Amino acid sequence: MNLTLADKVVYEEEIQKSRFIAKAAPVASEEEALAFLAENREPEATHNGYAYKIGLLYRFSDDGEPSGTAGKPILHAIEAQGLDRVAVLVVRYFGGIKLGAGGLVQAYSDTAAATLDAARLVRRSRVRE
């Protein structure tokens, strides 16, 4: 994996009346990933699910969504595109319609993937991990 994001990117989508706002950024360290997440989370939102991957280190959170329905799909979107040193936050404002576990996985996965698709990618320099 030698691709990362050139810069921050934001993408928004409405899915069955819920608003999903995804924010992604290149990160060089776990500290940088945590700072990005802290600066970009929206406390008034219903959920702030995230994932980040830096070499062999990865973390994710469902932030109150049912287990495995937000963080893991976001991480999968990062890995599916072969990206590294990337953090993705997906903010959800609940719109009144329950999506169910499958619908949540699809919504978080699709929103994260669309965000990464919209990003300009660059090859990262080889750094020893």
129: confidence class by pLDDT, cuts 50, 70, 90: very low
What's the pLDDT tens digit per position in 73-98? 999 999 999 999 999 999 999 999 99
Closest CA to 29 of 76, 86, 89: 86
pLDDT at 45 over 90: yes
Q: State the DSSP code for 66.
A: S
Neighbour-count burial of 109, counting CB atoms closer than 10 A to its CB (0-12 exposed, 13-18 middle, 19+ buried): buried
1: confidence class by pLDDT, cuts 50, 70, 90: low
Could you list the beta-strand ranges (E) of the chain: 3-5, 9-15, 18-26, 47-54, 57-61, 86-93, 121-123
pLDDT at 68 over 60: yes
HSE-up of residue 121 (Cα within 13 Å, Cβ side):
16
- Average pLDDT value for the chain: 95
Decide: pTM greater than 0.75: yes
